[in-house]
Amino acid sequence: MTSQKIEKLSQSELDIVIKKHTDFVTGRRGGIRATLKFKDLSGLSFRKADMSGADFTGSTLRGCDLSYGRFVNASFFACDLRDANLERGDFNRADFRGAYVAGANLVAANLGNADLREGRIMQSNREGIMEQMDLGDERDGSTVFSGAKMRETNLSGSRAVYADFSNADLTGVVIKDADLRAVNFEGANLTKTDFSGSDMRDTQLKDAIMESAVFENTEQTTKIESKIEAAPERKDMKLILDEKGISLEEMIKEHVLWLTTQGNSGEKMNLSGVDLTGLPDLKKSPITAIKALDSKFIGMNLEDAQMQFCQFDKSDFRDTRMARADLRGSRFINVDFTRADLSDAKLSPLKFKNADGSDRLERVNLSGAVLKHTNLSGADLRNTIFMGADLSNANLSGADLRYADFTGANLKNANLKDADTENAVFQDTQMMS
């Protein structure tokens, strides 16, 4: 069935609605409760507004700013809130049934007692038969928070049966006494998430990060702790240093000596199979040309790091902060960069001289890498190899993609606004907005 046409509102028109609704909430004369059903509100600002009890059913709020606002008991039934900013907003008892909130920012928001169950809008066809309204190929009635930033969000008491939190960052989230039956947490970051007292029967936790998560008094179909224990373990960097009887500084000095003497002295740093998450100052170190295959960098701060000509195949960089990092000439085959911040990073080639005097380009290789919901905005990605990579929902806005190779890559719902794609290769690439 064809989707309903919706009216586009301007910011000035919305401001009038907000003013009247504020008067309604505070009991002032002339106040009118906001009913913004089936409207296009994309990109508009509700920042710090009190829209408690407002009805947004079926509306598009993609990229809207709802931060620091109050939306208690508001209805976002079947709304499109992709990439919206809900940071520190109060959505207590709000209705998010069937909403599409993928990639949104909900850091420190309050969704206590919110309704996140399935929801479908029905309408009658020409024969008078009720049918589900067509809201797009990706809208099946489930509430979707895939790839959302939800650190320190309160979801206690929420009803979220069948909700999709795949690849979302729920670090430090409190989800006590919630109904989470059949919820999809696949690939999500559940570090220090508190599920105490929640019903977690039939939840999907494949590839989820569950370090220090709390599952006290939860109802489970399969014991979750066994899944945590089954996760692959990597060597602890501190234990390695203790075994070798050296400090990290000494290891780095040996690596620098190896670099400056072109391998004649010192020792190349090999961190393969190592858990590096306990090294907060690694970004300050000269780690050019290191080898770290199948290593763990989850959540680390590597902003502005010098990591040229390195080997990182099969390593885990989920949630890593790497803004402005220099990664030229490095290899990231089958690496997981889900939710990582690589904004303004340098991933262009390094130029070397061959023995015959000719030039050789060492291109950054991201073949088979997972970059779902990754921020690559403004990054220098010239000549980068993305063959078979998953960049679904990635942010490539303003990136330099000249001569990049996306053969066989997945770019579904990727943001390519203002990106330079001159001479880029998109053979057999999946693309859909």
Predicted local distance difference test score (pLDDT) of residue 420: 98
- Whose tokens are 């080898």? That residue is 291
CB-neighbour burial class of residue 383 (10 A; exposed 0-12, middle 13-18, buried 19+): buried
Does residue 326 sit in helix, strand or coil?
Answer: strand
- Whose tokens are 């409760």? That residue is 33
Could you say which residues of the chain have pLDDT below 70?
1-5, 119-141, 225-233, 280-281, 432-433
Predicted local distance difference test score (pLDDT) of residue 122: 43
| Span 232-433 CATH architecture | 3 Solenoid (2.160)
Look up residue 25 and give its amino acid.
Answer: V
CB atoms within 10 A of CB 222: 12
Domain 1-231 carries which CATH code?
Answer: 2.160.20.80
Q: Where are the domains of the chain?
A: 1-231, 232-433
* pLDDT, tens digit, 9 for 90 and up, residues 160-198: 999 999 999 999 999 999 999 999 999 999 999 999 999
What is this structure's pTM?
0.86
Predicted local distance difference test score (pLDDT) of residue 1: 38
Instruction: Provide long-range contacts, Cβ within 8 A and 24+ apart, for 288-295.
Output: 288/259, 289/259, 290/255, 294/234, 295/234, 295/271
> Any residues with CB less than 8 A from the CB of 24 and at least 6 apart, and which?
31, 32, 33, 34
* pLDDT, tens digit, 9 for 90 and up, residues 110-158: 999 999 998 655 444 455 443 455 555 554 568 999 999 999 999 999 9
Give the CA dihedral 376, 269, 311, 373, nearest 10 degrees.
Answer: -30
Cα 90 from chain centre: 21
Of the candidates 81, 31, 28, 34, the residue with the CA atom closest to the CA atom of residue 53? 34
3-state secondary structure 64-123: CECCCCECCCCECCCCECCCCECCCCECCCCECCCCECCCCECCCCECCCCECCCCCCEE
Half-sphere exposure of 368 (CA within 13 A, CB side): 9
Give the chain's radius of gyration (CA, Å): 24
**Rounded Cα gap, residues 316 and 329, in angstroms:** 19
| Exposure string for 21-58, b = 16+ CB within 10 A, e = fewer | bbebbeeeeeeeebebbbbbbbebbbeebbbbbbbbbb
> Any residues with CB less than 8 A from the CB of 86 and at least 6 apart, and which?
66, 67, 101, 104, 105, 106, 109
Asked whether the beta carbons of 122 and 142 are under 8 A apart, the reply is: no
The yes-or-no answer to whether 1-231 and 232-433 have a common fold is yes
